[in-house]
Structure 1
């Protein structure tokens, strides 16, 4: 296991995981590993912490899905720039909604939505795929300032009559909400070709000549043709009314359905059964579908031109946005660094840092960057051994006899500190069994040397 040099860490976090300023950058942020992890969590195929308890969310059937709803609330609570509404609409039904207000035209509303209830256990395709897609779009766009408002909506009780979406659509119509488009996702992860292999990768857009729904379909196809997606569209008119977009059609709103191709009989054979698991999905196809939805929503919401990326030069971090105000943060403690309000910042200590930039009414915060450039040499290959890697449970850190008293930090790909420890042993074992699957970075530091290692948690 070779140590990752500081310059590589900066490149990784400053470029790949920083939040872009154009649609292609936004598309590139869709993370198939995160999508896969969230699908496994939300289908109960992997345990997850909800309200501090280790849960298995394998049952999301109506009136038995409060744990699932609570999970969704916590996912939205982790985001910036959204207001969360936990919306009961009868004795058991709960819509979970996050609203990101537009900076320029807050009354121009676009809705991206899916239902999260099921008819059986697991139900990965129907409709964890749509739900997780909404969460991914929200994760990416909530870091951006937008001209128009996006509502990220997750409906309950779709399977017993579109009840959650009908409640919301009726209320929106009564309030005169200026909803310009509703993009509903329902079953978008199955493709009959062998998963990950070349094939037709067809998907349906179901629309009708109601309000501006046909024009909305054309706009999605324009986005499809403007960037590179491994997808082929099937236009369906008149589209099905068997999902939540129909609630908005009933109120005269522009809306449509995006999903796998029922029109060409290429839908999951495990529909409405407990055999509908993550293993049956074509995750590569699903990733392309989520990219398309993300690109469309970013296009319609319209990105405000603020650059929230950071460049590292030597021991200095610099915001790439000029003519604004700045506040640097210590991500390890999630606190503002006193006096660090200039465009450039020189940390006094190694750690993870971000910058919040303000331009007019727009406030955006960069991703957290691992900073490890204060004069320490890097460990040699034979001085530190991190194993096994990939790891499922216990991660071992073995140092040679010349190294004592090490500090250990484990970060996720966003730069968030997951674990902080120290040791004076030559072999230190970290129990990371409860940490979600994904890619992490392990920073090890002695009084004289330092090293950062990529770790894959299975």
Structure 2
């Protein structure tokens, strides 16, 4: 390729997975998190603070002349993912695209691109286009843990609102064949711009119509057909409106200009069902229908997974009271201590028998790529789960403080992990009433593993 560089980044990641079956497209779709989308839109639109550069900050502006903090937020979110390389593409004095590349394992020169613009015209602008950015970040979170045949580029554009400048620069660079450069083999572009408004009351049943804007350029009509086929192959609460000829007023059109296949996916402007607060500071989170947005994100996740191609590698684990077994019939195994994020010396067989209590995962390889399983909490001496009379957790959902009733005064180890499997905190107590403060944690799903010398149980907790 030319100025768009593809790099391999091999990073271990912990993911929550089902321990009984391998990954499938349906499994991937099911990982899309409404809670994650809500959190990202709230943070990116400045409705709530977030951690950027290690400190708590609020993104008060995404206007192109003052949106460096938003770019850093996006860059840090992508850098935290495995198997992607992240680059800032400066294209003029102020403009910067944030580009993350996940290299395909078998056909890396074949590229699919999923994108959205992150700049805005004024403050907040939750629908336009924090929603599209949140969807791209969620898709990257999920697919970065998978081995894929083809390359995916996750692109967040700057200066869309003043002339589609960021996407135009990238598309021109990709198509540039001057001075011996090779035209990038981009097979399809999905652009998401404003995917959060449906005229029905948020969260209620309705038409859930969305637009696919397309024109007969390159294989753009094929992308539309593939989206419709996926829509009918899996269960989505969506109804597609095909717009042909589609609008040129968003970033996908700059790829049309260079002869690439592309479509725009978004709320239904074709049926006049778009946000009433378009391009104003009243474009707020309160008007977003997050269930509708989640359905669109699931659809695009399914498309990207289908076209990029899952490598057939099972990263799941079967557990018994005495050992852990990798389900994959792969060529290599490496068991990992999740508590120290380090490989276990000599633990390179399909079956692993832990000698100490802890959290373990396995990195499996098939000669093409490697995938890491979920972390599994293993208690060497535990033979059973706690009875309801021995342990009680409340409230659930929890707003701030989770209480654990321990009537038998057992010596307990309590480990909190988020939905990705990331370790948050561990505490030990033998008090009759134990508390765990979740007030500072983001809304979403968490898992609390409680273990004694004889028993161990994991509880799913919803943080509101």
TM-score over 0.5 (shorter chain): yes
Secondary structure of the corresponding residue to residue 63 of structure 1? helix
Of residues 186-195 and 30-39 in structure 1, the stretch that sits farther from structure 2 once superposed is 30-39
CA distance in 1, matches of 2:17, 2:53: 32
CA distance in 1, matches of 2:41, 2:377: 28
- Tell me which residue corresponds to 2:418: 412
Question: CA shift at 1:186, angstroms?
Answer: 0.2
- Tell me which residue corresponds to 1:457: 463
- 2:132 counterpart of 1:126: no
Contact map agreement 2:106 2:368 (CA 8 A) in 1 = no
- Tell me which residue corresponds to 1:15: 18
CA distance in 1, matches of 2:103, 2:226: 22
Contact map agreement 1:370 1:415 (CA 8 A) in 2 = no
- 2:402 counterpart of 1:395: yes
Contact map agreement 2:316 2:328 (CA 8 A) in 1 = yes
Of residues 234-243 and 35-44 in structure 1, the stretch that sits farther from structure 2 once superposed is 35-44
CA distance in 1, matches of 2:224, 2:150: 19
Q: How does 1:417-428 map to 2 (within 5 A)?
A: 417-423=423-429, 425-428=431-434
- 2:155 counterpart of 1:149: no
- 2:307 counterpart of 1:300: yes
Q: How does 1:96-111 map to 2 (within 5 A)?
A: 96-111=98-113
Question: CA shift at 1:265, angstroms?
Answer: 0.3
- Tell me which residue corresponds to 2:27: 25
CA distance in 2, matches of 1:447, 1:356: 28
Contact map agreement 1:216 1:255 (CA 8 A) in 2 = yes
Classify 1:152/1:14 alpha carbon distance in 2 versus 1 (closer, same or farther; 3 Å).
Answer: closer
CA distance in 2, matches of 1:118, 1:344: 52
Question: CA shift at 1:240, angstroms?
Answer: 0.9
CA distance in 2, matches of 1:405, 1:64: 53
CA distance in 2, matches of 1:301, 1:450: 39
Question: Is there any run of 5+ residues in structure 1 with no aligned partner, and where?
Answer: 1-11
Of residues 422-431 and 51-60 in structure 1, the stretch that sits farther from structure 2 once superposed is 422-431
Alignment length, in residue pairs?
445
Contact map agreement 1:20 1:26 (CA 8 A) in 2 = no
- Tell me which residue corresponds to 2:446: 440
- Tell me which residue corresponds to 1:8: none
Cα deviation digits, residues 304-353 of structure 1 (max 9, x gap): 11111112233221111103201111112111112111111122223222
164, 167, 170: which one pairs with 2:169?
167
Contact map agreement 2:220 2:261 (CA 8 A) in 1 = yes
- Tell me which residue corresponds to 1:112: 114
- Tell me which residue corresponds to 2:86: 84
- 2:186 counterpart of 1:218: no
Secondary structure of the corresponding residue to residue 407 of structure 1? strand
How large is the Cα RMSD of the aligned pairs? 2.2
Secondary structure of the corresponding residue to residue 15 of structure 1? coil
Contact map agreement 2:79 2:86 (CA 8 A) in 1 = yes
Question: Is there any run of 5+ residues in structure 2 with no aligned partner, and where?
Answer: 1-14
Cα deviation digits, residues 258-277 of structure 1 (max 9, x gap): 11110110111121122222
- Tell me which residue corresponds to 1:272: 279
